[in-house]
Amino acid sequence: MSDQKNGSDTRERILDVAERLFMENGYEATSMRTITSAAEANLAAVNYHFGSKEALLREVFRRRLAWLNHERLQALDKLEEQAAGAPLKPSQILEAFFGTLLRMGENPALGGMVFLRLLGRTLTEPAEFIRTFFAGEYAEVIDRYKLALFSALPDVPKAEIVWRLHFMLGAMSYAIAGTDVLQVVTGCEVGDLAGEKATDETDDTVLARRLAQRLMPFLLGGLRAPLPQFDDLQRIQKEPLPKTARDTRGNGPNQDPRPKTQDQQ
Amino acid sequence: MSDQKNGSDTRERILDVAERLFMENGYEATSMRTITSAAEANLAAVNYHFGSKEALLREVFRRRLAWLNHERLQALDKLEEQAAGAPLKPSQILEAFFGTLLRMGENPALGGMVFLRLLGRTLTEPAEFIRTFFAGEYAEVIDRYKLALFSALPDVPKAEIVWRLHFMLGAMSYAIAGTDVLQVVTGCEVGDLAGEKATDETDDTVLARRLAQRLMPFLLGGLRAPLPQFDDLQRIQKEPLPKTARDTRGNGPNQDPRPKTQDQQ
DNA sequence: CTAACATTAAAACGAACGTTTGAACGAAAT
DNA sequence: ATTTCGTTCAAACGTTCGTTTTAATGTTAG
């Protein structure tokens, strides 16, 4: 009990801190020294407990995704059991898939919005080991839900469903990851929740709930949108578009005097 | 003419190479030595022409976004001129905003899919200087389109429109950025274009066109989806969710024997 | 008590990073 | 012919990176 306490404590502290810092700065921009000092642990602790920085990131995700994927599969199992062979409603499938995730954002014990944001941002990271890791973690869940959508929408071509699943994942990931990115651009619309000034934690919880309420109808609307007309082989070329102009700033305006002596201050 | 040729040549070569490498590896994971050697330029060339690595990234985006934003504003101007004061159709607005971008993906001279992917991935990067840069570059365009959507959808609350604009941006960015990410997970559905084996460039062009055809209906469906019912103040708490269990792997299964002596091979 | 073990601690490793320097080059301009 | 200036070059700058090493610590079991 107490022999584990010391070790497990440091281990969990590192995981929690790494989760937050990876979310805030990204994987590459977060150094092990930043992590260990923020976790009040020794620099060597990460390599001792996890083996490497890459393995640390994997473990940060594994402890959350294990719960998430299990919950998602269980939700789908339950739905299919209740339906007794009949195809499910798309809204049920989306609720099981996205609702489960968004409910993580409302529960700080499961990572809360910190993990949701980290997940959304990391899904687009180009690093090879991250992609292969996610591919392995997500394979089963995606496959199950893909098949469920196939039988829920028998009239929609399967390729179209895959595309739309892709779009839905994107809308969700981006909405989560960018709650402070695009909100800045669009004019700070998060804080309009009737003057609630609470902890960051409860603030995040409220945000997660609002996000879920507004995201689900959007996704359903997109999923059930009319199919595009397929004028595939006709290759419309709306305008020839001058192939010469390499970019906009050939010699036109909009050109600030950059390379005179470069802008070192 | 020739005195500029040498310098401009290196400069453009660096921009092109950096655009591709930032897309493939991300900003932090791409070193200046990788960039300059791939561009067959000297290591100091980046600091000479652009001043710093950050400024290089900004310039990579500026030369594309200048064209894109100008085109987007012009498209909206044209639409509003034709409408003569009447509100626009949402489909027109989306076509002007997203169609303009997706048409960049079909034109390699404007960056093609390389730039589109880079844009999609960089929008979620957490680095401060990137966010402030994008905020400045996008502010005017987003504002104009936001207002256009407000008058196009007078019955929809403005906050809801902003959220859905956010979702649409996410679906697009993610769909673009992850054409090879999620496609791997979902089972390699890109290559199903009737056995076309062509250059990477024309392949990308075809991909951009297919993406546009399938993305636009999805976005329109999401934008026009029925509004969510607002049961905001009731705080549904579907299940208490044990606040004790910090994470899934307290002592359950799914636990691989990690910290025995760590996994250094 | 002591041997074994898991964990922490401090220090150093070599490699890679972004940036700077100062000289050299080459085509204009004087 | 010489100066000028934008550009390129090789080399080095100091810093930070992830990882490893070696010793010290405290707890558990025989």
Strand C contacted by B257 CB (< 7 A) = no
Q: Which amino acid is at A23?
A: M
Task: For A49, name the nearest residue in chain B, comparing CA atoms only.
Answer: B259
What is the predicted pLDDT for the residue at B177?
84
Q: Kindly report the bases of strand D lying within 7 A of a protein C-beta atom.
A: 6-12, 16-22, 27-28
Task: For A103, name the nearest residue in chain B, comparing CA atoms only.
Answer: B238
Contact in structure between A88 and A149 (CB atoms under 8 Å) = no
> At A190, is the secondary structure helix, strand, or coil?
coil
* Residue B264 backbone phi and psi in degrees, to 5: -80, 125
What is the predicted pLDDT for the residue at B231?
56
Look up the CATH number of domain B61-226.
Answer: 1.10.357.10
Q: Which amino acid is at B55?
A: A
Q: Distance from residue B167 (CA) to nucleotide C9 (C1'), in Å? A: 48
Chain A residues whose beta carbon lies within 8 Å of the beta carbon of residue B249: 63, 66
Gap between the Cα atoms of B175 and B120, Å rounded: 8
Q: Which residues contact B153 (CB under 8 A, 6 or more apart)?
A: B90, B161, B223
Chain B residues whose beta carbon lies within 8 Å of the beta carbon of residue A213: 228, 230, 232
What is the predicted pLDDT for the residue at A126?
87
Fold of A61-190+198-226: Tetracycline Repressor; domain 2 (1.10.357)
Residue among B171, B192, B248 whose CB faces A67 most closely: B248
What is the predicted pLDDT for the residue at A207?
81
Which among B177, B44, B202 has a CA at the least distance from the CA of B118? B177
Determine whether A86 is exposed, middle or buried from the number of CB atoms within 10 Å of its CB (0-12, 13-18, 19+).
exposed
Gap between the Cα atoms of B32 and B56, Å rounded: 10
Q: Which residues contact B259 (CB under 8 A, 6 or more apart)?
A: A7, A11, A49
Q: Distance from residue A55 (CA) to nucleotide C4 (C1'), in Å? A: 28
Low-confidence residues in chain B, pLDDT < 50: 1-7, 188-196, 232-265
Digit-by-digit pLDDT tens for chain A (265 residues) are: 333 344 468 999 999 999 999 999 999 999 999 999 999 999 999 999 999 999 999 999 999 999 999 999 999 999 999 999 999 999 999 999 999 999 999 999 999 999 999 999 998 888 999 999 998 999 999 999 999 999 999 999 998 999 999 999 999 988 888 766 555 555 544 444 444 455 666 677 888 888 899 999 999 999 999 998 765 444 444 444 443 333 333 333 333 333 333 333 3
Q: Of chain A residues 40-69, which have a beta carbon within 7 Å of strand D?
A: 43-44, 46-47, 52-54
What is the predicted pLDDT for the residue at B250?
31
* Residue B27 backbone phi and psi in degrees, to 5: -70, -50
Fold of B1-51: Arc Repressor Mutant, subunit A (1.10.10)
Buried b (16+ CB within 10 A) or exposed e, B244-259: eeeebbeeeeeeeeee
**Could you say which DSSP state residue B193 is in?**
S
Domain chopping of chain A, boundaries:
1-51, 61-190+198-226
**pLDDT tens digit sequence for A94-140:** 999 999 999 999 999 999 999 999 999 998 888 999 999 998 999 99
CA distance B84 to chain A (A): 24
Determine whether A229 is exposed, middle or buried from the number of CB atoms within 10 Å of its CB (0-12, 13-18, 19+).
exposed
* Residue A235 backbone phi and psi in degrees, to 5: 55, 60
Strand C contacted by A7 CB (< 7 A) = yes
